[in-house]
Structure 1
Amino acid sequence: MWISKTGVQAQDAKLQAIANNLANVNTVGFKRDRVLFEDLFYQIEREPGAQRDDNTVTPGGVQLGTGTRLVGTQKVFTTGNLQTTGQSLDIAIAGNGFLQVQRPNGDLAYTRAGQLQKNSEGLLVTSQGLPIVPEITIPANATAITIGENGMVSATVPGQAAPQEVGQLTLVSFVNPAGLLAMGDNLYQETAASGVPTEGNPGADGLGKIKQGALEGSNVQVVEEMVDMIAAQRTYEMNTKVLSAADNMMQTLAQAVR
């Protein structure tokens, strides 16, 4: 019964991850979660290769497992589909890398969501109002904004034929992006597992390029999530059937010894 209980808990955790993936299927820059399990310790009644009385060696031994447990969750950082929006401040990262933003407490956070806007001071900010790092200020009288694949931001202002450069978007990469801490609001935080960020210009040193007028969609594949959900549901049901069978066996035993 205890072994089946661990199986029920494991599948419940997997269903929760699947539900979160499906809930964010339309979230810009969202990366799906996958759940990792491992088997629990074994009860060793006879070790493989143990010596028998007749001077022979047992080929397999007796090892009884005690169930499973959740060992971790992992973000899958494959690139989502690019969706063309035509908005000049919408950007998508085609490849590796994160935008840097500054949180209200001064700490840095990282995001793949490129729904940029201008605040009242002309600074480029995210949809939550967090300023992009390094700061980029758009002139108030700008009539057009161009963001190159290399992250160079240019603005066209009245009276000047050529656009003027107003800033440079940079990206950062991590040795282990799966080790980033997901904070919600499309933000990630550096951890000891992720390693320190390495900053560079888009398109250089393995970093992705910037695509203006587009957004990166979620990398959740609905069909795959539905198949995983069906498999998890069936596994959950099988574990509950084992619980019911064990309960019936104990009931029969209890009635037999009355």
Structure 2
Amino acid sequence: MDRLVYTAMSGAKHTLEQQATASNNLANATTTGFRAQLNTFRAAPVVGDGLPTRTFVVDSTAGNDFSQGPIQDTGRALDVAIQGRGWIAVQTADGGEAYTRNGSFKINENGILQTQSGQTVLGDGGPITIPPDATVAIAADGTVSAIPTNGIPNAVNVLGRIKLVNPDEKNMKRGDDGLFRTITGAAQPDANVRLASGALEGSNVNVVEAMVNMINLSRQFEMNMKMIQTAESDATKATSILSLS
């Protein structure tokens, strides 16, 4: 009887955890460049004396969905979308390096090119500084140029090149801040990564699929709870029969 309780109890617990992942994916269905998180269930035996037949249900992270999201034109000069594989390198708050697909940029009060959430966009030689009174243009290879609004017309100043990388996806891990990092050191620039200027990549979360997954998880949780109730009812009846005998 306790085998059933072990399986149902652990199944209900990890179903709730997987429900949280599905809810997070659904909440980021409109987040620029978001990558859906994938989870799966697996069986794990209980280790200990007298417990070889007991099994836990464990929710394990299978990985992330790195498929391309839809690209939408915005017409904004500081918006870029990665075409195909690749990542944009940014500087984290602790001075480290992380990677994102969110190409919605801004210029802070010091003229530094940043993401909308405040991470500094890294260039091949460090942060990219934008001069005042200039129109910014970002080329397909990540080259950032400035055209002054005053002075000599058509004078283009190259400010730097955005660090674009393409590490092995198996070597990437999602952080709590939503940014990805490589497990084995910083990634090297890749000249084959291309950008689409004036566009943004949407989330690759399938809203309908996420909703269906949440409904299925809810039903699995109810099924596990019914199994626990059945085990309790059977135990009560067995105790009653033994007391009568």
TM-score class, shorter:
0.7 to 0.9
- Rg (Cα) greater in structure: 1
State the partner residue of 1:227.
212
Report the Cα distance in structure 1 between the residues aligned to 2:58 and 2:118, rounded to whole angstroms.
Answer: 40
State the partner residue of 1:169.
162
Q: Which amino acid aligns with 1:120?
A: E
Which of 94, 100, 111 is the equivalent residue of 2:100?
111
State the partner residue of 1:52.
none
State the partner residue of 1:24.
28
State the partner residue of 2:188.
198
Whether the 8 Å contact between 1:39 and 1:69 is mirrored in structure 2 is yes
Q: How does 1:97-176 map to 2 (within 5 A)?
A: 97-134=86-123, 135-142=127-134, 144-157=135-148, 158=150, 159-176=152-169
Give the 3-state SS of the residue equivalent to 1:34 in structure 2: strand
1:98-137 CA distance string (max 9 Å, x none): 1111223321122111111112222211113322112222
State the partner residue of 1:13.
17
State the partner residue of 2:228.
243
Gaps of 5+ in 1: 44-62
Shift of 1:42: 8.7
Report the Cα distance in structure 2 between the residues aligned to 1:11 and 1:104, rounded to whole angstroms.
Answer: 34
Report the Cα distance in structure 2 between the residues aligned to 1:28 and 1:125, rounded to whole angstroms.
Answer: 15
**Structure 1 residues 66 and 105, CA gap change in structure 2 (3 angstroms):** closer
Report the Cα distance in structure 2 between the residues aligned to 1:102 and 1:78, rounded to whole angstroms.
Answer: 24
Whether the 8 Å contact between 1:100 and 1:132 is mirrored in structure 2 is yes
More helix by share: 2
1:136-165 CA distance string (max 9 Å, x none): 2222121x3221111122222231324332
Report the Cα distance in structure 2 between the residues aligned to 1:257 and 1:106, rounded to whole angstroms.
Answer: 68
Shift of 1:225: 0.5
Report the Cα distance in structure 1 between the residues aligned to 2:115 and 2:74, rounded to whole angstroms.
Answer: 16
Whether the 8 Å contact between 1:15 and 1:232 is mirrored in structure 2 is yes
1:196-238 CA distance string (max 9 Å, x none): 513123xx1xx3x211111111111110011111211112111
Shift of 1:88: 0.6
Give the 3-state SS of the residue equivalent to 2:41 in structure 1: strand
Q: How many aligned residue pairs are there?
A: 230
Whether the 8 Å contact between 2:74 and 2:199 is mirrored in structure 1 is yes
Report the Cα distance in structure 2 between the residues aligned to 1:228 and 1:197, rounded to whole angstroms.
Answer: 34
Report the Cα distance in structure 2 between the residues aligned to 1:214 and 1:242, rounded to whole angstroms.
Answer: 51
Gaps of 5+ in 2: none
TM-score after normalising by structure 2: 0.85
Instruction: Give the share of equivalent positions with the same residue, in percent.
Output: 31
Q: Which amino acid aligns with 1:197?
A: A
Shift of 1:189: 2.6
Which of 173, 181, 186 is the equivalent residue of 1:180?
173
Report the Cα distance in structure 2 between the residues aligned to 1:95 and 1:73, rounded to whole angstroms.
Answer: 22
Report the Cα distance in structure 1 between the residues aligned to 2:6 and 2:171, rounded to whole angstroms.
Answer: 32
Report the Cα distance in structure 2 between the residues aligned to 1:100 and 1:183, rounded to whole angstroms.
Answer: 17
TM-score after normalising by structure 1: 0.81
